Chains A and B, each alone.
Chain A
Amino acid sequence: GENVEQHPSTLSVQEGDSAVIKCTYSDSASNYFPWYKQELGKRPQLIIDIRSNVGEKKDQRIAVTLNKTAKHFSLHITETQPEDSAVYFCAAINDYKLSFGAGTTVTVRA
Chain B
Amino acid sequence: NAGVMQNPRHLVRRRGQEARLRCSPMKGHSHVYWYRQLPEEGLKFMVYLQKENIIDESGMPKERFSAEFPKEGPSILRIQQVVRGDSAAYFCASSPPAAASTDTQYFGPGTRLTVL
Contact = CB atoms under 8 A, between A and B. Distances in A.
Instruction: Provide the main secondary structure of the chain A interface.
Output: strand
Point out which of A31, A43, A46, A93 has the most chain B C-beta atoms below 10 A from its C-beta.
Answer: A43
A94 B43 CA distance: 15
A97 interface: yes
Interface residues of A, number: 24
A3 to B, nearest CB: 12
Contacts, number: 58
Contacts of B33: 96, 98
Given A32-B101, A89-B42, A103-B41, A96 B31 contact: yes
Contacts of A45: 107
For chain B, the bracket of interface size reads: 20 to 34
B45 A93 contact: no
B1 interface: no
Interface in A4-54: 6, 31-32, 34, 36, 42-46, 49, 51
B91 A44 contact: yes
B100 interface: yes
A51 B102 contact: yes
A96 B109 contact: no
Contact of A102 (B41, B45, B102): B41
A98 B43 contact: yes
Contacts of A96: 31, 33, 48, 55-56, 95, 100-101
B110 interface: yes
A73 to B, nearest CB: 15
Interface of B: 31, 33, 35, 40-45, 48, 55-56, 59, 91, 93, 95, 100-110
Instruction: Give 8 nearest A-B pairs by CB, closest first.
Output: A100-B42, A96-B100, A43-B107, A32-B102, A97-B45, A100-B43, A43-B109, A44-B107
20 contacts: A31-B101, A34-B104, A34-B105, A42-B109, A43-B91, A43-B108, A43-B109, A43-B110, A44-B43, A44-B107, A46-B104, A89-B43, A96-B48, A96-B56, A97-B59, A98-B43, A98-B45, A100-B42, A100-B44, A101-B42
